[in-house]
């Protein structure tokens, strides 16, 4: 929902009409940057994120890594919430105070996070198709307004280096692999992680590309790159025949639930990892506590303002954080795995056995 809201690809190298090509090339880098975590997910399937870290790097370092991931989820939760609510505040509800917007957003987010992975999955099967349908509807309805000259000259103003640099920055923002890491634990045993991963990357790529192209073709690069929510501005231009005006409401109708769903995923993941670290405190309590913390963070005016959010969302901050946490750390873990393969495999077998035993004992409990 981050790219859906402010399309960071528009403000990266090469800073011109070729940014759609950056998006295409970034797929290659996304896969490269995700390979270490993908390997870990496949190799350590059946273990939670905490157990994976503990198994590879030992208990102390494992806990530290878990904390780093919790901080990442917390950062994504609060930053994404602030970006979304700043948009609501600037464009849609300028008179509604931020505390009320936060309140209305955080309650459903926390509720969904408390309900757990199953509810998140079921909500996603309802909300995500709606989002995808509206993207297609807006693209088709906007065809009449699209000027293909907006993309010209194609790839003439950008160097190979610029395109690749832009693609690397774009790929480095892709934090969704961390969601895969946490949720792979909940996947059905017959589900293929690789297949699901590539399918979701393909869906992401196709639909983000449709969104970026629609926006560029209607607004042009110069205007799109200065909008807070370029896709919304694009949808504001679309009319469905003469009788249906202001159809951007359709965009908001799916954007807001989609954003809440994404935020609830971050809330759930942070609570889940903390719960696995400190088993005495329930996930529900962590979810409520984290949401309260995010509410406080988002209420601080020096943080929740457009200038600070522009910095957070820019290429100067976000890609480096995600790159370090979702690529560098997993790469080191993979290296450790290969260095201590035999020992780690033994620990892995034990951990899997323990998990199986726990699951079997839970299954045999009288209902």
Partner 1 sequence: MKKMFLIFALVVIIVSTAGCWSSTEVKNLAIVSSVIYDMDDENNYLIKLNIVNPSAIGSADTGGGGNKKAGITLDGKGKSYTEALNDVSANVDRRLFADHNKVRFLTEKVATKDYAVINFLDFIMRDALTDESALFVVIRDEDKDKLYNSTATGLSNLIGTFLDELATTQQKYCSSMTHITTLDFIKANYADGKEAVAGTLFLEETDNIPSQNSGLEDQEIQYKIVYEGLALFKDYSLVGYMNGKETEIYNILTKQAKTGIVTIPKDEDFAALTWNKPKAIIKASYNGENAIFDIKIEGELTIDKMYIYNTSEEPFSDIMKTLKKEVSEQMKTRTSAAITKAQDYGSDIFGFGAMLHAQNPKAWRIIASDWEVYFKNATFNVECDFKINQQGEINKPFIK
299 binds partner 1 (CB under 8 A): no
For residue 228, report the phi and psi dihedrals to the nearest 5 degrees: -70, -45
> Is the Cβ of residue 58 or residue 220 nearer to partner 1 in the bound state?
220
For residue 30, the minimal CB distance to partner 1 (Å) is: 29
Binding mask 43-82 for partner 1 (x = CB under 8 A): ----------------------------------------
- Helices (H) and strands (E) counted in the chain, each on its own, are 17, 0
Q: Which of 220, 240, 285, 331 is close enough to bind partner 1 by CB under 8 A? A: 220
Q: Exposed, middle or buried, 72 (CB in 10 Å: 0-12/13-18/19+)?
A: buried
> Is the Cβ of residue 100 or residue 136 nearer to partner 1 in the bound state?
100
- Residues 229-258 interacting with partner 1 (rule: CB under 8 A): 233, 236-237, 242, 246
Q: Which of 60, 94, 302, 363 is close enough to bind partner 1 by CB under 8 A? A: 94
- What kind and span of H or E run contains 129? helix 117-141
Residue 189: both structure tokens together: 């045993």
**Number of residues this chain uses to bind partner 1 (CB under 8 A):** 24
10 binds partner 1 (CB under 8 A): no
- What kind and span of H or E run contains 57? helix 49-57
> Is the Cβ of residue 16 or residue 314 nearer to partner 1 in the bound state?
16
For residue 159, the minimal CB distance to partner 1 (Å) is: 12
Q: Which of 32, 42, 71, 100 is close enough to bind partner 1 by CB under 8 A? A: 100
For residue 63, the minimal CB distance to partner 1 (Å) is: 37
For residue 162, the minimal CB distance to partner 1 (Å) is: 14
Q: What is the rounded CA–CA span in Å between residue 195 and residue 178?
A: 17
96 binds partner 1 (CB under 8 A): yes
For residue 65, the tally of other CB atoms under 10 A from its CB is 23
Looking at 6-14, 35-43, 147-155, 332-340, which segment touches partner 1 (CB under 8 A)?
A: 147-155
Three-class secondary structure of residue 15 per DSSP: coil
Could you tell me if 258 and 1 are in contact, meaning their C-beta atoms sit under 8 angstroms apart?
yes
> Is the Cβ of residue 128 or residue 155 nearer to partner 1 in the bound state?
155
| Sign of the alpha-carbon dihedral angle for 51, 56, 62, 67 | negative
For residue 266, the minimal CB distance to partner 1 (Å) is: 23
For residue 221, the minimal CB distance to partner 1 (Å) is: 9
> Is the Cβ of residue 26 or residue 291 nearer to partner 1 in the bound state?
291
Could you tell me if 208 and 23 are in contact, meaning their C-beta atoms sit under 8 angstroms apart?
yes
Q: What is the rounded CA–CA span in Å between residue 7 and residue 3?
A: 4
For residue 277, the minimal CB distance to partner 1 (Å) is: 30
Q: Cα–Cα distances in Å, from 336 out to 51, 55, 235, 241, 316? A: 15, 11, 48, 60, 30
Binding mask 149-188 for partner 1 (x = CB under 8 A): x--xx--xx-------------------------------
- Partners of 125 in beta bridges: none
| Torsion angle of the four alpha carbons 1, 122, 126, 188, in this order, in degrees rounded to the nearest 10 | 80
> Which residue, chain included where needed, has tokens 């679309």?
238
Q: What is the rounded CA–CA span in Å between residue 147 and residue 136?
A: 18
Q: Which of 24, 32, 93, 206 is close enough to bind partner 1 by CB under 8 A? A: 93
Residue 69: both structure tokens together: 């991931």
Residue 57: both structure tokens together: 């790097």
Looking at 113-121, 148-156, 169-177, 285-293, which segment touches partner 1 (CB under 8 A)?
A: 148-156
> Is the Cβ of residue 217 or residue 261 nearer to partner 1 in the bound state?
217
Instruction: Report cis status (omega within 30 of 0) of the bond before 14.
Output: yes
Q: Using CB under 8 A as the criterion, which residues of the chain lie in contact with partner 1 when the complex forms? A: 90-97, 100, 104, 149, 152-153, 156-157, 219-220, 222-223, 233, 236-237, 242, 246
């Amino acid at each position: 929902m981050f790219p859906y809201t402010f399309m960071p690809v528009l403000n990266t190298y090469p800073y011109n009409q070729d940014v759609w090509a950056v998006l295409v090339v970034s797929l290659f880098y996304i896969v490269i940057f995700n390979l270490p975590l993908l390997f870990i997910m496949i190799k350590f399937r059946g273990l939670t994120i905490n157990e994976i870290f503990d198994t590879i790097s030992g208990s102390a370092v494992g806990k530290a890594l878990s904390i780093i991931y919790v901080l990442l989820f917390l950062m994504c939760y609060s930053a994404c919430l602030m970006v979304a609510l700043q948009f609501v505040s600037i464009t849609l509800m300028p008179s509604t105070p931020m505390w009320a917007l936060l309140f209305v957003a955080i309650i459903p987010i926390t509720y969904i996070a408390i309900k757990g992975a199953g509810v998140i999955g079921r909500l996603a099967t309802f909300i995500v198709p709606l989002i995808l349908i509206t993207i297609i509807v807006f693209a088709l309805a906007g065809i009449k307004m699209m000027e293909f000259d907006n993309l010209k000259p194609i790839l003439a103003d950008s160097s190979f280096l610029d395109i690749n640099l832009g693609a690397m920055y774009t790929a480095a923002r892709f934090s969704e692999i961390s969601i895969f890491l946490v949720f792979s634990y909940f996947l059905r045993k017959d589900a293929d992680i690789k297949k699901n991963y590539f399918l979701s990357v393909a869906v992401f790529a196709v639909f983000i590309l449709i969104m970026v192209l629609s926006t560029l073709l209607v607004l042009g690069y110069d205007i799109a790159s200065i909008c807070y929510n370029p896709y919304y501005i694009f949808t504001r231009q679309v009319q469905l025949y003469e009788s249906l005006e202001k159809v951007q409401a359709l965009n908001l109708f799916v954007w807001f639930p989609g954003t809440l769903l994404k935020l609830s995923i971050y809330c759930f993941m942070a609570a889940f990892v903390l719960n696995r670290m400190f088993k005495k405190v329930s996930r529900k309590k962590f979810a409520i506590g984290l949401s309260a913390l995010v509410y406080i963070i988002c209420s601080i005016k020096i943080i929740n303002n457009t200038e600070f959010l522009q910095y957070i969302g820019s290429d100067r901050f976000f890609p480096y954080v995600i790159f370090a946490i979702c690529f560098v750390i997993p790469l080191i873990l993979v290296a450790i795995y290969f260095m201590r393969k035999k020992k780690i495999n033994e620990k892995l077998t034990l951990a899997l056995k323990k998990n199986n035993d726990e699951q079997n004992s839970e299954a045999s409990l009288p209902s």
